[in-house]
A and B are shown apart, each in its own frame.
Chain A
Amino acid sequence: MNAEALLGCFAAPACIVTQVSAGMIIGMLIFLVASGVTLIFGVLKVVNFAHGSFYMLGAYLALTVYGASGSYTLAVLAAVVGVGLFGTIFERFFMSRVYNADVLMQLLVCYAFILILDDVVKIVWGGDFLKMGMPREFALPPIKVWDGYVPPFYAFLTVFAVAIAVLVGALLRFTQFGKIVRAAAVNRQMVSVLGINTSLVYALIFGLGSMLAGLAGALAAPVRAAVPGMGFEILIECFIVTIIGGMGSMAGAFIAAIGIGLIRSFGSIGFPLASEGVMFAIMAIMLLVRPAGLFGRKAS
């Protein structure tokens, strides 16, 4: 615990700006992964435990494509499309076989994929930390905010993540596809009786959720080192966020993710060893006081 450093930081606007922007990008990455999990769970009622590995896959794909083409735009696209496709295949050939089995089976299918993907990444990219560095597109002078400086990529990442979240939300709320999805979440059988191919809807939603994970991975590549096993770390944070924010609530996940991001970044100054503990403490208090989470509907 280093309260002095923390207070010192709160006294200096430059430090606050730096830490808030760092916290925001951590939060946004967690939010993107968590929203993928939430989306899939909301409709399909299964939890993709392998979602963190999808995020990892996205980061590595972006790294490779950026290395080959030098275009970050292309890298992001490749990660989104690649992981989206992978997720759809995973759903069609593996996950869909255990929808009616119990949680244990679903967990094990995902666990098998976590093992396999970690190893595949090790074979293809090696087990060491890989760094992408700041993409050329963002080699710009930092933006001056208040008394501090924010790297342009940080600002881009935050705005972009929010925009994507709004876009997905709008897709579900205002389009025909969104209506079908929401109906399928309530009663799959009824929707399929109406002549709609619900298997396709499920695969698309799983693909969409996976794309969010791939996007998060691609956005993480410039600011975080890629390493096998990186998926699991974010998965845990993602679960904490879902529990604090309320299960199935995107808004809750958003607020909780920002909270966790800020705790992480300020915690790295004030209480580096305890920042994890603080996250758990908040989760524990939430479970005691409001088991359904910030925005969750009352648990049955």
Chain B
Amino acid sequence: MTARMENIIGILLAVAVTAATLAFGGKALLDVLMRLAIFGLLALSLNILVGYTGLVSFGHAMFFGLGSYTFGLLMQSGAVSIPVAALLTLVAALVWGGVVGMFCIRLDDIYFSFLTLAFQMLLYSIIVGFVSLTGGDQGLMGGIPRPPFLGLDLTDPRQLFVVTMAVFVTCVLIIRQIVQSPFGFALRMIRDNAERARFLGLPVQRYKLIAFVLSGLFGSISGILMSLYVSGAYPNFAFWSTSGDVIFMIILGGITVFLGPLIGAAVFLLLNDNITRMTEHHGIVMGVVLLAVVLGLRKGFLDLLDDWWRARAGAVR
């Protein structure tokens, strides 16, 4: 199957799911799919770094928080329309990602994880400390105004759902395009052997920075969608536990298959919702599940499926 065929099938599937949900689904299904789209995009955007470049960022939530707060504040100011606010948010994410990235990519391995985590906590403490602007612990209250644009009224949950799905699918296609491009293969080479990549004349640091910024941009889009969905922004969007959750999603789904993180996000949300409903000690249960996956399976679900598929194909041949 060619990449183009896969893309077309993916789009058709997304359109079918969206249409079917609009036709038959209730409010609950709408909510589930919107959250899946938001966190799926967040996990896929992080996987540009983790899976393809081999940089384990433990601070990805900073882009999620940055996106939702910047967008929310811009909309609350009432000065700009939704598309303009989204564009400005992307610019903000670009600048933040560029500056933070310049520091982070100087370090390798675990120190890269430290530093991303540290910068994320910096953003978190700014959000919590700057009460007059962000509302501190309470979060961005009072709702986010959603004035109509281009004939779309996002206060209508069904229209918001369609727009969320459309943005999600577009972003996924772009990310796929990126990782399948020569640039994407250069990232894989950096992941596998940065030194050799350097010998071959690849500007490794610049590529890492670009990957960092791209990952951040898509992360902030996920943040924008989140602030539209909950009509607010909360400090825990930028907290370390959110970063941890996203990494958890990636590992649940698998890092070697493109859509792995999306499946991981689905499994994670399913687990999370059920555990929260059953017990208040949600940390223990999630921690044990995580240990079981990491120490037991040692791979994500799609990784396992992929292995099994390849083994079977090998046996037939």
The interface of chain A, by Cβ under 8 A from chain B, is 47, 94, 97-98, 101-109, 111-116, 118-120, 122-123, 232, 236, 239-240, 242-243, 247, 273, 276-277, 280, 283-284, 287-288, 291
Contact = CB atoms under 8 A, between A and B. Distances in A.
Nearest to B284: A119
Contacts of B107: 287, 291
Interface of B is mostly: helix
A283 B291 contact: no
Contact of B281 (A112, A123, A240, A242): A123
A276 B125 CA distance: 8
B118 A108 contact: no
B248 interface: yes
B244 A104 contact: no
Interface stretch (B71-79, B82-90, B109-117, B221-229): B109-117
Contacts of A287: 103, 106-107, 115
B122 A280 contact: yes
B287 A115 contact: yes
18 contacts: A101-B298, A103-B56, A103-B110, A104-B247, A109-B294, A111-B244, A112-B288, A112-B291, A113-B287, A116-B287, A119-B287, A120-B284, A123-B281, A239-B117, A239-B118, A243-B111, A276-B122, A277-B122
A280 B121 CA distance: 10
Contacts of A122: 281, 283
A242 to B, nearest CB: 8
B178 interface: no
Given A103-B56, A236-B121, A112 B294 contact: yes
Contacts of B294: 98, 105, 108-109, 112
B240 interface: yes
Contacts, number: 101
Contacts of B281: 119, 122-123
B103 A284 contact: yes
Contacts of A113: 287
Given A107-B56, A109-B295, 8 more contacts: A94-B295, A107-B247, A112-B286, A114-B244, A115-B244, A236-B121, A239-B118, A273-B129
Given A104-B251, A105-B294, A115 B286 contact: yes
Contact of A236 (B118, B130, B295): B118
A117 to B, nearest CB: 8
A103 B287 contact: no
B58 interface: yes
Given A103-B113, A104-B251, A111-B247, A116 B284 contact: yes
B247 A283 contact: no
Contacts of B113: 103, 107
In the A-B complex, the 6 residue pairs with the smallest Cβ-Cβ separation, listed nearest first, are: A119-B283, A116-B287, A115-B287, A112-B290, A115-B283, A112-B287
Contacts of B54: 102
A287 B294 CA distance: 32
